[in-house]
Each structure stands twice: as structure tokens, then as C-alpha cells.
Structure 1
Amino acid sequence: MHTLNLGILAHVDAGKTSLTERLLYAAGVVEEVGSVDDGSTRTDSLALERRRGITIKSAVVSFALDGLTVNLIDTPGHPDFIAEVERVLHVLDGAVLVVSAVEGVQAQTRVLMRALRRLAIPTLVFVNKTDRRGARGDALVRDIAAKLAPGAVAMGAVRGLGTRAAAFTPYGPDRPDGPGDPDGAAFTGRLADVLAVHDDALLADYVTDEAAVTYRRLRKGLAEQTAGALVHPVYFGSAATGAGVAELTAGIRELLPAFTGDPDAPAAGTIFKVERGPGGEKVAYVRVLAGTVQTRRELPYGDGDRAPVTEKVTGVEVFDQGAAVPAAGVPAGRIALVRGLAGVRIGDAVGAAVSSAGRAEDARRHHFAPPTLETVVVPERAADRGALHAALFQLAEQDPLIALRQDDIRQELYVSLYGEVQKEVIGATLTDGYGLPVSFRESSVIHVERLAGAGAAYEKGDTDTNPFLATVGLRVEPAPPGTGVVFGLAVELGSMPYAFFKAVEDTVRATLRQGLSGWEIPDVRVTMTHSGYWPRQSHAHQGFSKAMSSTGADFRGITPLVLADALKRAGTRVHEPVQRFRLEAPEDTVPALWPAFAALDAVVDAQVVRGGVAVLEGEVPAARVHGLERRLPGLTRGEGVLESAFGRYREVRGPAPVRPRTDHNPLDRKEYLLHVQRRV
């Protein structure tokens, strides 16, 4: 059985969920097309999704297409929920990127296409809302080629653009290609031009003997290069009227590559989503890569950072014709709901894939920017503090980028955010799903720290300054952005028990969540340069003595002090998140914008004027974006259009902000030792 796991992605309000409904209707899964406005869509199942008319959680629905099983995954379009898209990307065989014919290429559209191209996911583009006033055709295709992908090629023309009667006519060798081109030669020529960029043999034949470049050959090349994510066919239509949907469906069947796994191989897969069932049990969404995941069978899972766990699968459901139905097993290529894996987490590999460290690492790699805001969640009833922590912990399981952070000293709970809409969703979920009314403090920007240089420190065990039975030496060095924390050894792995090395590494990673100024240090190379321990010993005629023998607690106790000293010697600099922006405004309003840019610390690095409209591109600190949005209407007579997306982190100009620490501060040795020794 051939399977295609198909993602539907778009900027919010481009019509992504409406297109999903239309595809399900065309496949006979639903008897009538659901409405986002009426809250009757199949994939928007949460009450808040129906109230707001936006997709918050990714949803899977399946249908058959000429012998092909399509698992269609509807993803959120609002940038506040980009983490949901993040988790779906690595299980896709192909994607449809929806673009509004009226609004055109928007900020989130660019972010999504960059990720799709970076991961080489075969992608079709569907230009929706061709029946709306102001819809664009050829000009939008040029925009798509310029702003999204140079390999974009229109697969047909729209008749009656901007009217309710708008219809899509696909190009072909025997179909008109538009006024003045009745034989379709223009489409064949454009297709040959696009394909020849990546096909030298085709280019040579096209130059020397056009007759050798048949339409059948071009169509075959189109399928091959689409599968290789080199070319992106563009279809037009309307999810509201159904125009163009049949042609898009044919393109999905013909041009996107189906997955064919070996059902007889050992079971292997990856987990991209975790939910809680009615009884609070975990339900894992598993993309099966090989073999068959079966109920009542033992299934190992893990992520490479922790020891694999094996548990019995108590239930399996497979998506079939719009519903999840119980099954004895699910074969390679399909997506299943698996129950019984109590400790499973998003990004875990299952079955034979657990032995592949690269699989788990790839599942955790971020393809979008991290959250740049955080807020304190405050229970309205003081007695709910414990229940709130448990509820937020469950939400963090379902969305790891929430990054729950607890301040034990101030008894506060922090969550990371992409935006204010996400805050509203978390609040509604806690109230409706857990009965926990909460409020939020004002959101603040998350900064990071980067090393200014290299530094090293060393502590010999059982001395006046180090009361722990553990010798640890660490060297820290800057790592390029995006590298993450890399832990290595400059000592023999066999010089002490592996559990002690693991205790040091885990403690290093935990300690780096708060640097010298309290912000996380995300990119750093840490090398263990010294090690030493006290072997298991006992008093005469007595059992094992912790007072005479090293334990993991000794290494967890001294490592923060050694790492803090190394960081002090290296020094750190605080960096703030910066957004890339693109602003379109009337040319005569540009002089009024420059003082606002200066006041908001925005930098314009490109400016183009076309037909009285100025296009400005540059950078603005993430903390100032909302200020720019508020001032824009008054400065541009309401005609300014602003797009922004995360760009990079840059060093803070002026005094660096300090975040209060939530631990017992290894930067203050005396207080730290008093607390740790008292706890021990």
C-alpha cells in the first residue's frame, strides 16, 4: 500500500482549513463542506479553534486517492503556533503551501517555504481565493518565484479572475495557453526553461533539437524535479467554490512522491505529537517508517539522551476515511495513534529507530525560530499552585517549546511564548480543560548569552574549597549559533564510572540554562578536562559509606561551581532577538518614518520605490515590533503594510538586561555551598 503524508501549510487566513475541507469533500470523506466561520470543520476540533476560527493544533485525517492512502495533516497558520508546524515537518512526504490570491506572499508564507526548501520537502503551491475581488494571477506567480521559490511554474490559467465564476484551466499540449497562444507552446517553453536549470541533458536537447523535448518528457521531468523539491508547480482555485481542487488533487497524485516502506522489516518510527486521552493517559502520534507497530507487543522508545524504555502497546488506531479506527497494527508509511507508552515524549524514536541517534536528533532539530517571549502564569486561587504546575507540565509535554521554567525561590512559573494569542490559548486551556483560572504577567523578551571567549576551571575533590568527593575540570568555548550545547571529553572514558560522566554532562546542560546574567547560553562547546572519584568503600564490618565513596550527587554538586568559574573567565555578552521586517508604504510618507525607526532602534538596510510605493527592509528589536505596528497607521495614513519574522540574535546595545536567577546561584560560592550541603 502506497502512502502519502501530506501537510497543508499557510499564513493565517489564506484558506488552509477550507481547502482541507474541500479535499475531504472531493474524496467523499464528508457529505458537505464544513465552514471555518460556522465552526463545522473536521480538523478544527477544539472549542477554542471553533470560537476563534483558527487552527491551533495540527490534526490528521485520511482519505483514499486512486489506490493511494493520503494522511492529510492540517497545521496552524498563525505564527504563534509555529511549534505545531515544527513537529509535523519531519514526518511529511510532501506539502501543499496555500497562498491567498488577494493578500499574496505574506511573512509566514516565506517562513514556511524556507523551512520546506531547507528540508527538501516536495511542495505544490495552491493559490486560493481566486474568486475574491482583488485576486491576482500572473503577477502573483512572479511574486512567488521572486519571494518564495525560483522554480515556481504555473500549471494553468484562471478565467474570470476576481469573480464568483473564476475557474482554473490547466495547461497541456492540446489546451489553449491563453490569448494569442492557442497551441500551448508558451507553457511548454516555460516548463522547459524551469526544468533545464537542473537538467543538463534537457538543456542540451532544448538548445539543439527542440523536437526531442516532448511534452511527455517534460511531464516526467516535472514529476522528478518536484519530488526532489527543485520545482514547485502552482495551481489556482477557490476552496469556497471548489474551483481548481480537482486539478490540485490530480497534481498531488501525479507529482508528489508516495512512501513505500518495508512492512516485513523490524518496526521503526518517530513520534511527532503527544496528547492526553479522556482518562489522562498519553496518546502518541507515530509515523511508522518500517515494519508494523502492533497492539499487545512490546515497543522500545527513546531519544538518545536517556536509556530506552520498553512498554507494551495497549491500543493502536489508524486514520481511515476521515476517522481514527482501532486496528491490530499499522504498517510502514502510515500514521497511528498508539496507547500504552506512558513515558513517551515528542521527538522520541520507536522500535528499531531507537538505535539510530541521528533519528532522534533530527526530530528535535528546530527549523523555525525559538520563542522570544515569556510570561509568569499566576493562579487566581493560591491553593491551585500545585495543580497548575502539574497542568503546565502536561501542556509542556504536548508542546516542548512552551519550556516550563520554575522559580523555586519566588514560587513562580514561567512559560515561553511566540505571541499574545498563544497566551490566550494557554489561559483558555487551563480554565476549560483543567478548571484552573489563571492570569498572566506582562510578557517580557527572552534574551540569550553568548561566550565572549574561552575559559577553564578545575576543582580537586575533598579539599577545603571543594567538600565533594569529585574532581572536575571544564573548558568552555564559543560555538556557532545553532550548534547547541556540545559536551566532549578530554579524559579517558574509562577513568571513572560512566554514570559520573553522565551526571556531569546533565548538570552542565541544566546549569547553562542560566548564564552570568541569568539568560540561557544556547551555543557552547564544553570539554571535561579533569576527572577523579573515590571508589566504593565501607567501614569495617559495615556496608557502603557515602562519606568515603563518590556518588552522582558529588558530581552534580561540584559541576555548577566549576562551570560558573569557567564562564566567568570566558565572559558572556547578552544578545536580544531581532526581527527582519518588510514595510510597504506610500513614498511621500517615508520621511515621517525615519524618526520612528531611530526611536525604535530599527535599522533599514534596503529601500526600493516602485510606482509611488516604497518598500523598506531592515531589522528591529523584537521588543519594539509592537511599537512599530502601533505607530504605523498614523505615519502612513493607514496604508502601510508591515511583515516581520525572526531574523537573528544581536548583542544588546547599552546596559545588558539581567534576569533574576531561579536556582541557588553557583556564582555565589558561599551561599551555594550552604544550600547544597544543608540539602544533602
Structure 2
Amino acid sequence: MKTLNLGILAHVDAGKTSLTERLLHSAGVIDELGSVDDGSTRTDTMVLERQRGITIRSAVVSFVVDGVTVNLIDTPGHPDFIAEVERVLGVLDGAVLVVSAVEGVQAQTRVLMRTLQRLGIPVLIFVNKVDRAGADPERVLRQIAEKLTPAVIATGRVDAPGTAAARCLPVDPGDPEHVARLVDLLAAYDDALLAAYVEDERAVTGRRLRRALAAQTGRARVHPVFAGSAITGAGVEALIAGLVELLPAADGDGDAPLRGTVFKVERGPAGEKIAYARIFTGTLRVRDRVAFRADAAAKVTAISVFEAGGVVPAPSVGAGRIARLWGLADVRVGDFLGAPPDRPAGRHHFSPPTLETVVAPCRAADRAALHSALAQLAEQDPLINLRQDDIRQEIAVSLYGEVQKEVIQATLADEYGVPVDFRETTTVCVERPVGAGAAVEWIGREPNPFLGTIGLRIEPGPIDSGVEFRLGIELGSMPLAFLKAIEETVRETLRQGLRGWSMIDCVVTLTHGGYWARQSHSHGVFDKSMSSTAGDFRNLTPLVLMAALTRAGTRVHEPIHRFRLDVPTDLFGAVLPVLAGLGAVPRDSTVRGSSYLVEGEVPAGRVHALEQRLPSLTRGEGMLESEFDHYRPVRGPAPGRPRWDHNPLNRKDYLLAVARRVTGATPDR
């Protein structure tokens, strides 16, 4: 049986979860429709999701249509949980982007559509809520063509929109206007179709157009638009038919080497780890030992697959399927299964979180429980970037926004019994090197107390390159274990630059390396005092690296968002001073009918304040869209962040902490 792994995506409150519920009902999987308001939907299983009426974690359900198993993945719509959407994108064969017929195209709708297009994921668009007062499907269709993509074609029309009697009628495949529009859209990619149409319009039949539409939709070049209501069911049957006709089913070789990816991790009733994985090629069986990182492997103890709205045990899972796996105790979100992925790991489709806050337990006795609970939450959402400050006994997490913070607080209290408070949310800055700097410490020469020679040079790297480590010595001149210890420690140390922010866009080169070979007494007992170990290089690397970084110098950069702001024309003048007060810089403004479209840049830390002020400034008519764009040097005094380790910038305290002694001379440079 063919499989279609389908994502449902939308701006919050567009009706995405209600549509999922309606699809399950129409497919005969459930007998009674659940309600988001009542907290009874199949995919919103968290208590907090039911209480708030929003999706926080992605959920998978399954149904069968015309011999195709559809694994439907319901994703969060709120921008604070965009990381959850990101993890799903890599496992999709196609997507349905839901747009409200009342609110139309919204900020998150644009972000999602741009990302889907960039990744080449086939997309159907569903205009939902046509039965709601104020619904205007024709206006929304024009918005979609203007703000999302012009490569759209309506598959029907809505009769009596904005009323409970709204119904969706399929377009007449022989309608000359529809045929001309469709040919015009498809001909950009199909010369044969255009030639046939020009020669004889009657030769281009409705069936041929439908086949061409399916082909170009599957290649993510055009996007059919459906309309309907998840609440009444209007138009949903046409959408279901479109899923299997217009979107490509999974294509994978079950006999090829195993290749898959883990996109979600959760805990079972007994605290066991359950990994959600998409299998691209090969077959995975119970009791198979599977690699899931370059340095990790484990035996799969149980498998379950999604069928008919439920989850059933299975002895194996093949190419194209999504499964839940047990036994992979150390697995993490983003891990590959079997062969490494085709594209490099760590690539983000959306911007990283740019906010941070310290989490503190309300009860001092809960400190250990808080760390354990946050560690489990970090398994589910690695981008919260759990950071523990052992010196101050504090734990910090990264955030996308204030709603995410509220959800973390409620989750810790409700699911883990740990009430917490948060410190003020701050912006996460980064540091980049200003120039080049080098340092070296020699084995057996004061003030180096460690049995190793390390020389390092740090210099600026290309923008968005992260941290690159290079060898400037011969590969065989030192044991690989020592080289690995140096590289790992370099990357760990650069999580804090001279002012405590993570270093990015730099190149670190190992220029000198030396060690003492393993020594033993005449009776064969290992003499640690005369033999280098990996620990020597792990302890020495931070001192040398930070000395080199001090010579290079760093500059603190703050995250900057690109924003698009739609405001009524008569309020444009009142909005500009507010933008200036928040540090926003308008770059362009365009009159669009009765509104102004303002585009520009704003510091990430001011976006939330702008969102809060916008409704009162614009009579509730303003629409803000923002996303991370780049890092900009901080203007004015550079902010710092307290270090959370034994500070290698303070040699005396560092050596007292890691070597229990201090040497007094100055190292050779």
C-alpha cells in the first residue's frame, strides 16, 4: 500500500486541528468529531493543549483513502513553537496549508509558505471557515496570489459564503475561463501542453489538464486551492480526493540500506524514550541494532506504526512509513537512523531562538527535580538550549517568545510538580572575532602545568559559517584521541566568548601540538605523572584558546529581525514614531489600497513590545510579520553575560579549580 506523509500547517487559529479532526471523521476513523474548544480532539493530547486550545507538540494520526495510507502530522500554528514545525518538515511528502476565509493570509502563513517553497514540498492550500460571518473566499484567493504565490488555481467556488449554509461547488472542468487560466499556469513548465492548446483547444481535455496539474503540483510548482469548512464538512471531500490525486506518495526502496530520521521524542508511561521516525529507504525490524548517530547505536526493542487513527505494534517498518521506536535510550531529535542523511545535519529551516531566561524553582528543594524535568523537555525540543550555570546554581533556556515561556512554566508545574518562576527575558547575542590572534603553551615549560603542547590561532570566518576547526599540524603527529579532545574542547569553550556570548563565524587552527608518550616503571605500572592523557589537553585548551581570543578581540552582535508591517493609511504617521522608539528602522514603505506596507529591521528583543502595542495603535487592523535576518554589531556599550564555567580568562582561579595548583610565570606566546 502506498503511503503519503502529510503535514497540516497554518497560522494559529486558522482551523488546522479542526480540519485534522474532520479528515479523520470523513475517512471513517472516528465516529464523533472532537472540538478544540472542548479539548476533545484526537491530536491535542497534552493537558495544556486542551486547556489553551492550541497545538504545542506535533501529533501523528493515520487514515486510508483509495488504497493510500495517509500519515497526517498536525503541527503547531503559534510562532513560539515554530521549532516543532521545523522538525516535521524533513519527513513530509506534501502539505496542506490552511488559511482562514475570514482573517486571510497572516504573518505566520507567509513564513510557512516561503519555507515550504524553499524546501520544494508540494502544497495544497485550503481556505477554511467559509461558513463564518465575514468569510470572503474570493478576497482570500486574491491575497494568496498576491502575498504567497501567484502559481495558484481555484478548484471550485463557494456558494453563500459567510453563512451556515455555505457550500463548495467544484469548478466545471470545461469552463473556458478556467481552462485558459489552468493552461496559462501549467504551460510555463509544459511546452507540449501549450503547443497542443494553441493548435487545437479541444485537444486539451479535462483529463489531460488534471494529469498535468498533478504532475506540476507534485513538483511544487503550482498549488491548487480548495475551500470549505472543517466544522460543517463543506468542501472536505474534495480536499481528500485531492490529497491522493495531486500529492506524491512516498517513494523508497525497502531493500536498500536503512536510512531514516528521528523528528520527535517523547516519554512513555514508565519514563521510557519513544522515538518518532520516518523511514526513507530500507526496512527496520524489531531486535535490529541500528546506528542513530556517528557514535551511537542500540537495539530496537519494539515498533509500532500508525493505522486507522490508532497505533498498532508491528514486527518491522518499511520505506515511506512513520513509526514509533523503543529501545533507543540515548536517541535525540534530529538523529539519523542507519546511513547518514544526504544533507548536512544542523541545518535550520527557521531562525534560531533569540531570547533567553533563567528558570528558578519556587522551592529550593526542587532544584534537582527541575534540572531533570528541563532535560526531558530539551529532549523533545533541543532548541531550548538548556544551559546550566553551576557557579550560580542557575538554569537558563532559550525561547522564541513569551507564550512558550508560559507553556514551559505550566508544563513543569502540571506534569512534573515543579512550580517555577522566570527572570526577565533577555536577548541572546553572539560574538565574532575582530581580528586574528594566536597563543601557545609548551609541555614541560612554565607556567604550563599540563602534559601537553597546544598552539591555537583564531581568526574571522565567513558569515554564517559557525565554528570551523582546522589542523595546522600533521595528522599523525599526535594520537587521534588527543586531537579529538582538543577539537571538542575548542567547540565547548567557544560557547562563551570574551563577554560570555557564544562565538560564531570563526576559524580555529591547531598550530602546535606535542605530548609525552605513555611511561611506566620497570615493573610495568603506568606513571601518570610522566604520561600525557586526553585530560591534559581538555584542561589546557581553554587557557590557550582564550589567550588567542583575547589577542584577536571580539565584537558583540545582537539579532535583528526583518519585519513587514501592514497598517491603515490614516495611522501610518502615528506608527512611525513608535517604530523609531523601539529601535526599528523602516527601509521601504508602499501604499497598497487603504494600507501602507512598511518593511525594515528591528532588534529581536523589541519584537514582542511591538506586537503588544500594535493592536491599540492600529485599531486591531495592523498585521506584523517578522523573522530573524542577521546579527548586527551592538551600538553603544556591549552587553555581557556571566560565565557559567571555571573562567579560563582568570588563570589563577581556573588552575585552582581544574589543577588544584597555580604556576606563576607567564606563558610563551
Q: CA separation in 1, counterparts of 2:472 and 2:204?
A: 60
Q: CA separation in 1, counterparts of 2:457 and 2:198?
A: 60
- C-alpha distance 237-517 of structure 1, shift in aligned 2 (>3 A): same
* 8 Å contact kept, 1:301–1:344: no
Equivalent position of 2:293 in the other structure: 303
Equivalent position of 1:102 in the other structure: 102
**Which secondary structure does the structure 1 equivalent of 2:146 belong to?**
helix
Equivalent position of 1:391 in the other structure: 373
- C-alpha distance 150-667 of structure 1, shift in aligned 2 (>3 A): farther
Alignment of 1:522-533 (within 5 A): 522-533=504-515
Deviates more, 1:402-411 or 1:666-675: 666-675
Match of 1:339 among 308, 313, 326: 326
Equivalent position of 1:180 in the other structure: none
The AA in structure 2 aligned to 1:498 is L
Kindly indicate whether residue 609 of structure 2 is the aligned counterpart of residue 619 of structure 1.
no
Kindly indicate whether residue 253 of structure 2 is the aligned counterpart of residue 262 of structure 1.
yes
Match of 1:366 among 348, 351, 368: 348
Q: Spell out, residue by residue over 1:145-176, the C-alpha distance to the aligned partner (whole angstroms, 9 max, x if none).
A: 222223222222222122222222222424xx
Equivalent position of 2:409 in the other structure: 427
Match of 2:473 among 485, 488, 491: 491
* 8 Å contact kept, 2:145–2:152: yes
The AA in structure 1 aligned to 2:521 is H
Kindly indicate whether residue 280 of structure 2 is the aligned counterpart of residue 293 of structure 1.
no
Q: CA separation in 2, counterparts of 1:415 and 1:656?
A: 22
Q: CA separation in 2, counterparts of 1:456 and 1:112?
A: 44
Q: CA separation in 2, counterparts of 1:242 and 1:505?
A: 58
Match of 1:378 among 356, 360, 372: 360
Q: CA separation in 2, counterparts of 1:335 and 1:169?
A: 34
Equivalent position of 1:230 in the other structure: 221
Alignment of 1:264-663 (within 5 A): 264-295=255-286, 297-304=287-294, 307-309=295-297, 311-351=298-338, 353=339, 356=340, 358=342, 361-362=344-345, 364-663=346-645
The AA in structure 2 aligned to 1:381 is R
Equivalent position of 1:181 in the other structure: none
| Alpha-carbon offset, residue 461 of structure 1 | 2.5
- C-alpha distance 566-118 of structure 1, shift in aligned 2 (>3 A): farther
* 8 Å contact kept, 2:10–2:112: yes
**Which secondary structure does the structure 2 equivalent of 1:108 belong to?**
helix
Deviates more, 1:611-620 or 1:436-445: 611-620
The AA in structure 2 aligned to 1:279 is A
The AA in structure 2 aligned to 1:526 is V
* 8 Å contact kept, 2:290–2:300: no
Q: Spell out, residue by residue over 1:629-661, the C-alpha distance to the aligned partner (whole angstroms, 9 max, x if none).
A: 344344445543333333332221111111111
Equivalent position of 1:89 in the other structure: 89
| Alpha-carbon offset, residue 119 of structure 1 | 1.2
Deviates more, 1:252-261 or 1:165-174: 165-174
Q: Spell out, residue by residue over 1:321-372, the C-alpha distance to the aligned partner (whole angstroms, 9 max, x if none).
A: 1111112222221111111111111111223x2xx2646x34x321111111
* 8 Å contact kept, 1:303–1:347: no
**Which secondary structure does the structure 2 equivalent of 1:193 belong to?**
helix
* 8 Å contact kept, 2:107–2:623: no
Normalising by structure 2, report the TM-score: 0.95
Q: CA separation in 1, counterparts of 2:621 and 2:217?
A: 38
Equivalent position of 2:13 in the other structure: 13
Deviates more, 1:449-458 or 1:18-27: 449-458
- C-alpha distance 358-514 of structure 1, shift in aligned 2 (>3 A): farther
| Alpha-carbon offset, residue 213 of structure 1 | 4.0
The AA in structure 1 aligned to 2:258 is A
Q: CA separation in 2, counterparts of 1:42 and 1:638?
A: 33
**Which secondary structure does the structure 1 equivalent of 2:266 belong to?**
strand
Q: Spell out, residue by residue over 1:550-589, the C-alpha distance to the aligned partner (whole angstroms, 9 max, x if none).
A: 1111111111122212322332221212222222323232
Q: Spell out, residue by residue over 1:588-637, the C-alpha distance to the aligned partner (whole angstroms, 9 max, x if none).
A: 32222232222211111121223442222222112222332344344445
| Alpha-carbon offset, residue 289 of structure 1 | 1.9
| Alpha-carbon offset, residue 79 of structure 1 | 0.9
Alignment of 1:159-174 (within 5 A): 159-174=159-174
* 8 Å contact kept, 1:120–1:229: yes
* 8 Å contact kept, 1:168–1:236: yes
| Alpha-carbon offset, residue 16 of structure 1 | 0.3
* 8 Å contact kept, 2:401–2:608: no
| Alpha-carbon offset, residue 204 of structure 1 | 4.7
Normalising by structure 1, report the TM-score: 0.93
- C-alpha distance 534-257 of structure 1, shift in aligned 2 (>3 A): same
**Which secondary structure does the structure 1 equivalent of 2:24 belong to?**
helix
Unaligned runs of 5+ in 2: 663-669
Q: CA separation in 2, counterparts of 1:136 and 1:331?
A: 44
Deviates more, 1:657-666 or 1:165-174: 165-174
Q: CA separation in 1, counterparts of 2:292 and 2:442?
A: 35
* 8 Å contact kept, 1:299–1:350: no
- C-alpha distance 516-445 of structure 1, shift in aligned 2 (>3 A): same
| Number of residues of Structure 1 aligned to a counterpart in Structure 2 | 662
**Which secondary structure does the structure 1 equivalent of 2:221 belong to?**
coil
| Alpha-carbon offset, residue 212 of structure 1 | 5.0
Deviates more, 1:323-332 or 1:646-655: 646-655
**Which secondary structure does the structure 1 equivalent of 2:140 belong to?**
helix
Unaligned runs of 5+ in 1: 175-183
Q: CA separation in 1, counterparts of 2:500 and 2:172?
A: 62
The AA in structure 1 aligned to 2:107 is A
Identity %, equivalent residues = 66
* 8 Å contact kept, 1:11–1:78: yes
Q: CA separation in 2, counterparts of 1:31 and 1:212?
A: 45
* 8 Å contact kept, 1:535–1:550: yes
Q: CA separation in 1, counterparts of 2:147 and 2:629?
A: 16
* 8 Å contact kept, 1:601–1:621: yes
Q: CA separation in 1, counterparts of 2:85 and 2:307?
A: 22
Q: CA separation in 1, counterparts of 2:411 and 2:621?
A: 36
| Alpha-carbon offset, residue 294 of structure 1 | 1.7
| Alpha-carbon offset, residue 260 of structure 1 | 3.2
- C-alpha distance 30-522 of structure 1, shift in aligned 2 (>3 A): farther
* 8 Å contact kept, 1:108–1:645: no
Q: CA separation in 2, counterparts of 1:271 and 1:502?
A: 26
* 8 Å contact kept, 2:101–2:140: yes
